[in-house]
Amino acid sequence: EIIIYRGYPVELHTVLTEDGYLLGIHRIPYGRTALSRQKGPKRPVFLQHGLLNSDADWLINPTDRALAFILADRGFDVWLGNARGNAYSKRHVSLDVNEEEFWDFSWDEIGRYDIPACINYVLRKTGSRKLTYIGHSMGTAIFWVAMITNPHLNSKIEVMMALAPAASVANVKSFVRLSAAFVDPIETFLRLIRTRAFLPNTGIHRRIREVFCERTLKEATMCRNLIFLIAGADPHNFNITALPVISGHNPSGTSVRTVSQFAKSFNLGQTFTRYDYGPQGNFEHYGQGVPPEYNLKLVTAPVYLFWGENDLLTTPEDVAWLASKLPNLKASIRVDYPYFNHWDFLWSVNVNELLYNRVLTLLPSPYYTVLPSDNVVPLSNTSRTARG
């Protein structure tokens, strides 16, 4: 709806994952500028949201400051991903969304299955050999998982732009860190009452947001301050009038396991591991008492990291650790503003000047400038190449 309202074309595509989930992803094939309507093969860009978000978060800012629209107007073929379990990806070939088994996943499965399926789908549909990947927060973590568990995908990435990059969360300064002490009993309780979905964007949760975030300026300010406690305070860059739209699309929902994986990682030290089932569960799943580490050295795609000094969730210390592990890191770039927080990457009123203009200078040309045969898969080979 946002895309149509802003005057852009949109396509809804359904991506089937290897384990049966049906993901709803959106495509903006061109923008509103003459540049975006030029003939010739375009480079695809894939944008992936973070935890408890959806692709709507790339669209909420004013049109000239929303990354998806900026890229479309520049001439890129823009694709917006949605992870399993959010508002646009609640279908499965054999499981009903109300079944517990539907929600039996963490970011391990999102990275292992969702991201490869989406990358291959986009390449197959566009006929391109490679795409540019832009992720925010968990959208970067699942990229690392995808590249590590499916190493052949690295060759299909032209460049990865990691905004608020997530891997280790040992130095999280947000008050959500307090949840680590309660995650196991909460998860056990929710399992007992047969609840595995976390904050879907329906019912009572929507009502709570309407009451506490969307009625008066005073309530909106309280809601904004809660966001600041989670992500870092930056009142000068937060457009409080956009809060009803932000809260209307967030949280978009995921599984309890995905959220608990994040919380359990707080006390694991600087590491990036698979889901922690506890000592006994880890022996059953992995044959060892602790969850295995992901080997970030297997992420060989070219990567740029962008981070904010005031980000309480993906902190400078954890980003520095991640940077030391990536073998093809092109640059680790601090946003040149001391109060830049976790959500400023998406919703800052000055996001162009502080971030996006720099990102755009590092992207390849939106149009292929050499012979298409050197960059685009011939139609007869599209399916074979997309399967990798």
Cα four-point dihedral sign 87, 140, 255, 106: positive
State how far the Cα of 146 lies from the Cα of 343, in Å rounded to an integer. Answer: 24
Active site residue 342: yes
Q: Which one of the listed residues 36, 89, 106, 137 is annotated catalytic?
A: 137
Under DSSP, the state recorded for 309 is T
The token duo for 285 is 């799943």
Each residue of 310-338: b (16+ CB within 10 Å) or e? bbbbbbeebbebbbebbeebeebbebebe
From 78, 90, 72, 81, select the one nearest 54 (Cα to Cα): 81
Cβ atoms of residues 11 and 27 within 8 Å: yes
Which of the following is catalytic: 265, 332, 342, 348? 342
User: DSSP string spanning 316-344?
Assistant: HHHHHHHHHH-TTEEEEEE-SSTT--TTH
Query: What distance in Å separates the CA atoms of residue 265 and residue 273, rounded to the nearest whole number?
Result: 8
Residue 50: which residues within 8 A CB-CB, separation 6 or more? 57, 135, 136, 137, 138, 139, 164, 166
Cβ-Cβ contacts under 8 Å for 224 (sequence gap 6 or more): 235, 238, 240, 243
CA atoms within 13 A on the CB side of 290: 10
Structural tokens at position 77: 């073929």
The catalytic position among 311, 318, 332, 348 is: 311
Inter-residue contact 342 to 310 (CB < 8 Å): no
The answer to whether residues 103 and 255 touch, using CB atoms and an 8 Å cutoff, is yes
Residue 94 is among the residues annotated as catalytic for this protein: no
H-helix or E-strand spanning residue 274: none
Residue 179 bears catalytic tag: no
Positions marked active-site = 137, 311, 342
